[in-house]
């Protein structure tokens, strides 16, 4: 007796998804240092306030804050609203001067 088309497609999709999954027993070979948790601490990057936004300042501030990623936000920039504890935001005015430092 042949399977109905919907049943066959459902089974094929389930097998494809199962084939792409990984087991939880895989060990990560290169773990980050235990002292670095990847969370942003904006207090450590407050020295950027009042400075002109540059790529070097962005990178230095990211490292000081312990963030994974960083970005400069100007007043009319479009941004997503998700909160990321590993991201540093340098908020700048229209002239590119940093006015605020925060995480998210």
Q: What share of the chain is helix, strand, coil (3-state, %, to 5)?
A: 35, 20, 50
Q: pLDDT tens, 22-71?
A: 554 444 444 344 355 678 999 999 999 999 999 999 999 999 999 999 99
Residue from 74, 71, 75 nearest 88 by CA = 71
pLDDT of residue 22: 52
pLDDT of residue 17: 65
The pTM score is 0.63
Whether the per-residue pLDDT at 93 is higher than 50: the answer is: yes
Which whole number is the average pLDDT over 68-79?
94
């Amino acid at each position: 007796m042949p399977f109905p088309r919907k049943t066959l497609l459902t089974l094929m999709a389930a097998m494809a998804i199962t084939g792409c999954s990984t087991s939880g027993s895989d060990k990560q070979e290169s773990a980050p240092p235990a002292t670095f948790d990847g969370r942003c601490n904006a207090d450590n990057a407050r020295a950027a306030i009042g400075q002109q936004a540059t790529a070097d300042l962005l990178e230095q501030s990211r490292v000081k804050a312990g963030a994974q990623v960083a970005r400069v936000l100007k007043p009319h920039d479009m941004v997503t609203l998700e909160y990321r504890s590993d991201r540093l935001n340098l908020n700048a005015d229209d002239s590119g001067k940093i006015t605020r430092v925060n995480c998210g």
